[in-house]
Amino acid sequence: MVTSADARPGYDDASEHLADWSELFARLIDRMVRMKAKAPRGTPVLSEHDRAKLIADDPALAELDRAVDVHGREIAARARFARRLGVPLPLEILRERFALAPVDLDILGVLATIERGTAFNPYTAAQSDPMQADVAFVVALLANSEAPLPGEIRLRFSPDSPLIAHGLVELSIGAGWAAEPPLVYKRVRLSDRVLDFIEGAGVPPPSILGAAGSFVAQPMPASDVLLPDPALIEQVARALARADQLVELVGAPGVGRKSVIGAAARQLGRSMLVVNMSEVPVDARALTTILKPLIREAHLQDAVLVLENAHEYGDGEGQAQIFQTLSELVRRVRTPLAIVVERSPKWVTRAGRVAMRFDMPFPTPEVQRRLWVRHLPPGLRLGSDTSLESLVKKYSATGASIKEACEELGRLDVVHQRGGIASEKHIIDVVRTRLAHRLTSLASVVRTTLEWSDVILPDEVLGPVFEFLNYAAHRAKIFEDWGFDRKLPYGRGLSALFAGPPGTGKTMICSLLAKELGLELYRIDLSQVVNKYIGETEKNLGRVFDEAARGQVMLLFDEADSLFAKRTEVKSSHDRYANLEVNYLLQRMESHEGVVVMTTNAETAIDPAFRRRIRFRIRFPAPDEQQRLQLWQGMMPKEAHVAANLDLRVIAQKFPLAGGNIMNALVRAATAAQAEGLAIQQHHLHRAAELEYAEMGFLA
C-alpha cells in the first residue's frame, strides 16, 4: 500500500501509475461497501448530509475516507512530477488534451481499472464474472461528504459533457430494460480505443481511421515544401496556434495545401490527421459515426485536424440539413483545425471559430521545374531534346500531378524498355493523357488529319483566322514587354466566335488552329456541364476553365447559343439562376487567359455582353458555286475509284451544300458504288447529294 511516507516523487512509467489507480479503486470499494452497510436499511439514496454523518459517527469509515483522499492526492502529485520529467502517462494525457475536470479523471481511472480485467482489479479478482458498472455504481463509488457531490458526478455522463461528447466513455442499456432507462441505470464503459490508448496503443488503428481518415506522424519539414513564397508556412503555423481560429487553405487540388499544413504542424511539434470528407456520406448519423472517432483521435494524437474536400460537403442542393450536425462536431474540436478547400464552404460561418483564409498559389514555372527534377525516378534521365523550362511554359501542373506523371513515366520506361530516357514527347504524352482523364466527364478531345491546304474558304474568313494566329503568337510580347498588361488588366485571353450555317467549316478551323498553336482541342459536352441543380453548372464550368488554364488546352463550346444565351427578365427563380450562370460565364471568360472558341448557328441568340467580350467574331458563309466545286474536288481522296466521265461541276451547281454535307455525300456515294462493285459514277454522286440535300429540309 502506498502512503505519504513511502511515496516516490514521481512515476517511472504508465504501468506504475495505473497500479496506483488500482489500489485507489480498492479503497474506494472498501469505503462504499462499509458506507452501505452502515446506512439505515431501506435508504435508497444517501444525501450529502447523511454521508457526512455516517463518516463522523464511524471512525473506521472516517479512516477509509481519509485514506482515499490521501491516496488520490498522492497520485495527482506524482503525476505532476512525472509530467515535468517527460514521463508519458496516458490518463494524464487524456486529462490535458480533452480539458477534463478532476472528477472526469476519477471516472476514467475507475473504469480503466475495471476494464483492464480481473488480474488488475482487486475487487473483481475473486468474482466469476467481470464487473459491469453502471452510472449509479460510479456515483456511489466516487461521491463523498465534500466535492465531488453525487449530482456533479452524474452530470459528467450527460450528452454535452467532455467524456460523452468526445466519445471517451460510452453508455448502453443493460439487460432487462424494455425502454430507455434512467441515466443512473445505464451501463458505462470506456470506449475500446480509449482503453487501448491507456494500455499503450499510441498509433491510430485502421479500424478507427477507416476509408476517410489518414494519419501523418511526421509531416514533411518546411525545407522540403517547394513554394513561391515559403513564408506561407510560418503564417499558417501562427494561425494554427490560435485555439479560436479555423484555418482555410484555398486552392486547386494538388498544389500542396496539405503539405503546407503538415509543415506548419511540424513547426508546432504536432502530427496531422486528415479526414477526406468525400468519403463521408451526407447523412447526419453517418457523419457523427465517422467523424466523431476521428476528432477524438486527433485529440489523442495532439494532431492538427485537417478536413479535406470540405467545400463539397453539405454544399449541394438539398444538403443544408447537415450543417447543424457538422457545426456541432467542429465546435467540439480543441486541437488545431484546418480545412483544405477549393472554395470557402457555407458551413464555415457556423463553425464557432474565426476563419483565417490563406490562398494557396499555383506553382510558378520555376517551382514546377524543380518538382519535375525532384520526382523523376532515380533510374530515369531526361533526353537531350527535353527542356523542362519549355515544358512548364506549355503545361502548367500541380505538384501532385507532376509526381504522378513521373511515376507513370517510370512504369512506362520499364514496360516499353526505353532505356531510362524520358524524351519531351514521352512527357507530353503522359501530361496530355492525365489532362484528358481529368476532363473526360465534361469534354472530349477533337483532333484532325487535315491541313491548311485542305481549307476552302473566302478571304474575308481566312483574314480574321490568320489575325487570330498572329495575336496568339505575339500577345505575350505586347502585354509583357510593351506594357499593355497595365492598360488591360483582364480580358487578355484569346476568344473567338465562329458563326454560320452547319457544315461551313467552323469546327475544322478550330481543329487546325489548335494544331497550329500546339494545343489540345477539347469540345465541351454541354449535356454534362449544364445541371438542373443550383450551382452545379457553375462548378462544372469552373472545373473546365481551371483545367484549361493549366494544361495548354483550347476550349470549344459547340452550339454555344444554348449556353451563352441572352439573359432574360426575371419572372421566376429559374430565370434568376439561369442569369446567374450567364453572369458566372462572363466573369470566367474575362479572367481566363487561354484560348476559347465558340461556334453557333444563331449568333443573334447569344447574349450581347458575350459578343462584346469576344476578341474575334468570324462569320462563315455558305459556299458559293465555285467554292462548292473546289470542295467536291478537294474532298475526293486520290485513292478513290472514280469513273472517268465524272462531272462534279453539275453536282456543285445543282446542290447548294456546305462542306460538311459534301463530305457526307461523298461517303454515301462511295458506299453505294462499293456495294455494286463499281467505281463512283455520276448517278451515285447525284443520288447521294440529293439525299443529303433532302435531309437538310430542301427539295432538289
Domain ranges of the chain: 14-198, 206-359, 365-439, 452-619, 625-695
Residues in the chain: 700
Domain 206-359 identical in fold to domain 365-439: no
Query: What's the pLDDT tens digit per position in 454-479?
Result: 888 888 899 999 998 888 888 777 87
Span 452-619 CATH architecture: 3-Layer(aba) Sandwich (3.40)
How many angstroms separate the CA atoms of 443 and 529, rounded? 9
Quickly list H helices, 116-256: 135-142, 150-155, 162-165, 192-198, 206-209, 231-240
Q: Does 3.90.1150.10 match the CATH number of domain 206-359?
A: no
Cβ partners under 8 Å of residue 5, min gap 6: none
Report which of 633, 635, 642 is spatially closest to residue 680, judged by C-alpha positions.
642
Using CB atoms within 10 A of its CB, is residue 691 exposed (0-12), middle (13-18) or buried (19+)?
A: middle
Q: At what angle do helices 399-416 and 424-439 cross, to 10 degrees?
A: 120
**Residue where the block lists cell 464552404:** 345
Q: Are 370 and 278 in contact (CB under 8 A)?
A: no
Strand 245-250 with 213-216, pairing: unpaired
The pLDDT, as a whole number, for residue 240 is 95
- CA within 13 Å, CB half, 133: 26
The answer to whether 249 and 336 have CB atoms below 8 angstroms apart is: no
| DSSP one-letter code for 480 | I
Class of domain 365-439: mainly alpha
Low-confidence ranges of the chain (pLDDT < 50): 1-7, 119, 124-130, 567-577
Q: What is the pLDDT at residue 44?
A: 57
pLDDT digits (tens, 9 = 90+) for 153-202: 889 999 999 999 999 999 988 777 777 888 888 899 999 999 999 999 98
Cα–Cα distance measured from residue 371 to residue 362, given in angstroms and rounded to the nearest whole number: 13
3-state secondary structure of 597: strand
Peptide bond into 148 cis (omega under 30): yes
The beta-strand segments (E) located in 164-270 are 169-172, 187-190, 213-216, 245-250
Report which of 24, 52, 54 is spatially closest to residue 36, judged by C-alpha positions.
54
Specify the pLDDT at position 571: 45
- Provide the CATH number for the domain formed by 625-695 in this structure: 1.10.8.60
